[in-house]
Amino acid sequence: MSASTPLPQRRVLGLIFLTVFMDIIGFSIVIPLFPHLLDYYITTEGAEGTLIGALNSAAEWMGGDTVFKKTVLFGGLLSTLYSLLQFVFSPLWGALSDRIGRRRVLVLTLAGNALSYLVWIFAAQFWVVVLTRLVCGMMAGNIAVASAAAADVTDEKDRTKGMAVVGIAIGLGFVFGPVIGGLASSVQFPDLAHGVSFGLNPFSVPALIAASMATVNFILVVKFFPETLAPERRANADAKRPSVFDLATVRSSAVRRTSFANLVYQVAFTGMENTIVFLTFALFVYSPRDNAWLFLFNGACMILAQGLARQLVRRLGQRKVIMLGMTIAAVAFFVVALIPPTRALAGDGAETTFYLGLGLISFATGLILPSVAALVSLYSDASEQGRNLGILRSAGSLARVIGPVTAALLYFHFGSHFWVYIGGALLMLPAIWVVRGLPEPESERLKA
């Protein structure tokens, strides 16, 4: 099928969903492994003349007097490095896809991902792990390309549906990836490498699964993914791609304020998301397998909220659903913050309280994120929907740069989770205030 032939929308959106879903699973497999992965490399390799040794010395100079505090800091930095590269490379890959087509860029980035996960299998030293995260971050711009492909096959009326397909794939990928990573970590190859750069490590099995999924994803795109951007349209595709830095140029003040509220919320959420495995390690000595069940529980709460969101929107409207979600999140952040910071002080009921708080945060996120995207769409003219939704997604990417490093530095400095979660609760206040001042969308006013 040529690019100039009309493409079956349902089939292409299904392929886009599968591509993004598998890609996010591969990336997020590492999330529940972070404390144990970093602890392993610090313990086996933390000496002079190595990257982890240099970072170890820097962390001690900054006041990192325990291995745990160091792993929190290194984990936040690794997450931020990945997200920063994704933020930088997304518009670059998107612009390249405007010139040479979506399919070619997806093939290139997925091949890069598969190669990086293959190298991770044999990451016997920490610098190899960092290299793989660098490559993954650079290649993660393919989400922007997939979003552009969804825009190619949808008209202005269906543009929100196309963006929703990408958003749902990302959300589900972040649910199943950590679960797979946590469960797979209990299986290890018998012969681990020591004293060399390349060889098997305790996390080679999760890396093998990520590499296998990336390879399958690459093959599926090569064999089945059609080119969605016709050659005759590429000459007109040189415009600057939307980013959060274009927010000031958006005509609708309601879109600007909604995007800002989303940025604030996601800074709090991504800070929590990237420190949660360190918190469970400190309080409950969770293994990666234990973290897998926690992420599955969080995912179930998020999916439940998304199922209820449609009914709530009919009764309250998008704006009030967002405010409800942010209020629930503020209470939940505060509840988790009050859990004592050590195993000895936490007591028997701490784990139940923790699950309650995390479940409520995930439930709130399931209410907030779809409604934010829908609200931006409702506030936008048909001709500006794609651009404004792109700016909204860019704001979320920027939050993934700010949130993890900020939370890691707070956790590192104070040695406990308290200020991370109190900070999340406090961030809800300006976000709620901004959303409260938004106008009702015209379509919802007409229904009232």
Q: Which two tokens stand for residue 411?
A: 């956790």
**What is the homologous superfamily of the domain 242-438 according to CATH?**
MFS general substrate transporter like domains (1.20.1250.20)
CB 371 within 8 A of CB 325: yes
Q: Looking at the predicted structure, is the pLDDT value of residue 213 above 60?
A: yes
Give pLDDT, residue 219. Answer: 94
Distances 279 to 69, 276, 302, 417 between C-alpha atoms, Å: 11, 5, 20, 7
pLDDT, tens digit, 9 for 90 and up, residues 369-387:
888 888 888 888 766 766 7
Neighbouring-strand partners of residue 198: 123
Cα-Cα-Cα-Cα torsion 321, 327, 328, 333, nearest 10 degrees, comes to 140
Q: Model pTM greater than 0.75? A: yes
Domain ranges of the chain: 9-238, 242-438
Mean pLDDT of the chain: 84
Length of the chain: 448
- Give the Cα separation of 403 and 432 in Å (integer): 18
Q: Looking at the predicted structure, is the pLDDT value of residue 187 above 50?
A: yes
pLDDT, tens digit, 9 for 90 and up, residues 106-123:
999 999 999 999 999 999
- Give the Cα separation of 32 and 301 in Å (integer): 18
Q: Looking at the predicted structure, is the pLDDT value of residue 3 above 50?
A: no
CB 306 within 8 A of CB 299: no
CB 232 within 8 A of CB 4: yes
CB 309 within 8 A of CB 374: no
CB 267 within 8 A of CB 425: no
Among the CATH numbers 3.40.50.720, 1.10.10.350, 1.10.1040.10, 1.20.1250.20, which is that of 9-238? 1.20.1250.20
242-438 shares the fold of 9-238: yes
Report the candidate in 417, 134, 130, 75 with the shortest Cα–Cα distance to residue 280. Answer: 417
Instruction: Give the list of residues 6+ apart from residue 1 with CB closer than 8 angstroms, or none.
Output: 7, 226
How wide is the angle at C-alpha 420 spanned by C-alphas 416 and 423, nearest 5°?
140
